[in-house]
C-alpha cells in the first residue's frame, strides 16, 4: 500500500477475546458496515497481552495516522500506550477512537462515543475531533521501576484489590450489575491500608478505602468515581476515600451512580498536576490502570497535556 493510501486508511486493531469473544463474533458484521459506509481500512488482530501496543507502534511507523480500537478498556489502554510510546510523530497528531465491545465502556462513556457498531461507523465521517490529557504512572513491580500511561482512571487500594481478585477468576465480568455485586462481595475480604498521598504541597496520611487519579469520569462499568474530572483541563482529578467503614460504604454506594460522592465528609475531591502515593503499611498498595493490575507503590502520577487526539460524535466537555 502506498504512503498516500495509508494516510487515507484507518488502522483497525481488534481484540478477538474481548467480552468473552464478542469481538470475534462481531467481525463479519463490522466488515459489512465498513464497506457500507465506504471506510478504507486495514484490520489487525491482537492475540496476546500488550500486542496491541506493538501493532500501533509498527502501524504508525508504516504511515497510519488514524486508528480505531475494537475491544474493551484494556485494549484501549494498550493502544493509547502505543500512541504515546511511538517516536515517529507527536502523539496528538494521531486520530484515535474506540468501538467499545469489551467489559467496561468507561472511557467511551465520558466522550459519548457510540457502542453500537452501526451507529459508530455511520457517524465516523461526520464526527468531531477533540484533545484529551493522558496520565503517566511511574510505579514498581517486583521491585523493578515501571512506567505506563492511562487515558481513564488509575485506582489504588480497594479498586486494585478488586481488579486483582477478578483477574484471578476464570472469566471476566461484562455486565455492570454483576461487577457491582462482585465489588460489594469483596468488601469483607478487604482491610483498609495506610498510605501517604502527596499533592499541591500537602501530605495526607490516613487509612484509605480507595485512591483514584483520573482523566475520565467513569470506572467499574459506569460508576461515577471521579465526577469532577474533565479530560482536557490539564489537571489530574483526585478522589480520596479515607477511613470509611464497610457499612458506610454500603450505605453510600448510591453516590457512585448519581455523582454525589464529593458530599461525603470522608471523601476528598481535588485536582493537581503531580501526585505521589507511598504505602505506610506493612504491604505496598496495589495499582491498576484502566482496569489492569500493573504494580504497586511507591507511585508518582504526572499529566501530559492534550497528548491524545480523539474522534467523537459531538463535543462533550
Structural domains of the chain sorted by starting position, each given as residue range(s) with its CATH number in brackets: 3-126 (3.40.50.10330), 134-305 (2.60.200.40)
pLDDT of residue 243: 94
CB 95 within 8 A of CB 121: no
pLDDT of residue 220: 82
Confidence band, pLDDT 50/70/90 cuts, at residue 221: confident
The residue assigned the cell 481484540 is 15
Confidence check: pLDDT of 174 > 80:
no
- C-alpha cell of residue 217: 469520569
Confidence check: pLDDT of 159 > 60:
yes
Interhelix angle 176-185/158-167, rounded to 10 degrees, is 110
Output 234 or 48, whichever has higher pLDDT. 234
Confidence band, pLDDT 50/70/90 cuts, at residue 6: low
Confidence band, pLDDT 50/70/90 cuts, at residue 176: low
pLDDT of residue 281: 93
CB 198 within 8 A of CB 136: no
Which helix (H) or strand (E) segment holds residue 258: the answer is helix 255-258
- C-alpha cell of residue 99: 468501538
CA distances from 258 to 20, 97, 184, 254, 266 (A): 29, 27, 18, 7, 17
- C-alpha cell of residue 311: 474522534
CB 153 within 8 A of CB 76: no
CA-to-CA distance for 197 and 169, rounded, in angstroms?
31
pLDDT of residue 32: 97
The fraction of the chain above a pLDDT of 90, given in percent, is 75
Neighbours of 105 (CB within 10 A): 21
**Model confidence, pTM:** 0.92
Mean of pLDDT over the chain: 91
pLDDT of residue 177: 61
Q: What is the mean pLDDT of residues 139-167?
A: 94
Alpha carbon distance, N-terminus to C-terminus of the chain? 37
3-state secondary structure of 117: helix
Kindly report, residue by residue over 98-116, the tens digit of the pLDDT.
999 866 689 999 999 999 9
Confidence check: pLDDT of 171 > 60:
no
Chain centroid to CA 139: 17
Q: What is the mean pLDDT of residues 135-159?
A: 97
Amino acid at each position: 500500500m502506498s504512503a498516500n493510501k495509508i494516510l487515507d486508511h484507518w488502522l483497525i486493531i481488534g481484540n478477538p477475546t474481548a467480552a468473552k469473544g464478542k469481538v470475534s463474533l462481531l467481525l463479519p458484521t463490522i466488515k459489512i458496515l465498513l464497506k457500507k459506509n465506504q471506510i478504507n481500512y486495514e484490520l489487525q488482530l491482537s492475540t496476546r497481552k500488550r500486542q496491541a501496543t506493538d501493532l500501533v507502534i509498527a502501524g504508525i511507523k508504516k504511515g497510519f495516522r488514524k486508528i480505531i480500537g475494537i475491544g474493551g478498556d484494556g485494549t484501549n489502554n494498550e493502544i493509547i500506550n502505543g500512541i504515546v510510546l511511538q517516536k515517529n510523530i507527536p502523539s496528538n497528531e494521531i486520530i484515535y477512537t474506540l468501538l467499545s465491545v469489551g467489559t467496561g465502556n468507561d472511557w467511551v462513556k465520558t466522550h459519548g462515543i457510540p457502542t453500537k457498531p452501526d451507529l459508530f461507523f455511520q457517524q465516523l465521517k461526520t464526527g468531531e475531533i477533540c484533545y484529551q490529557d493522558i496520565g503517566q504512572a511511574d510505579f514498581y513491580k517486583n521491585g523493578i521501576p515501571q512506567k505506563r500511561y492511562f487515558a481513564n482512571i488509575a485506582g489504588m487500594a480497594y479498586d486494585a484489590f478488586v481488579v486483582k481478585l477478578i483477574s484471578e477468576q476464570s472469566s471476566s465480568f461484562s455486565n455492570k450489575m454483576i461487577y457491582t455485586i462482585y465489588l460489594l462481595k469483596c468488601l469483607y475480604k478487604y482491610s483498609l491500608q495506610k498510605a501517604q498521598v502527596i499533592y499541591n504541597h500537602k501530605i495526607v496520611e490516613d487509612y484509605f478505602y480507595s485512591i483514584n487519579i483520573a482523566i475520565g469520569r467513569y470506572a467499574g462499568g459506569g460508576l461515577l468515581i471521579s465526577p469532577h474530572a474533565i479530560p482536557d483541563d490539564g489537571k489530574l482529578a483526585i478522589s480520596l476515600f479515607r477511613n470509611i467503614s464497610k457499612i458506610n460504604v454500603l450505605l453510600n454506594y448510591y453516590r457512585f451512580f448519581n455523582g454525589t460522592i464529593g458530599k461525603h465528609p470522608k471523601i476528598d475531591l481535588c485536582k493537581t498536576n503531580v501526585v505521589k502515593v507511598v504505602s505506610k503499611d506493612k504491604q505496598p498498595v496495589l495499582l491498576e490502570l484502566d482496569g489492569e493490575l500493573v504494580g504497586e507503590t511507591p507511585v508518582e502520577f504526572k499529566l501530559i497535556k492534550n497528548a491524545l487526539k480523539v474522534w467523537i460524535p459531538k463535543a462533550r466537555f
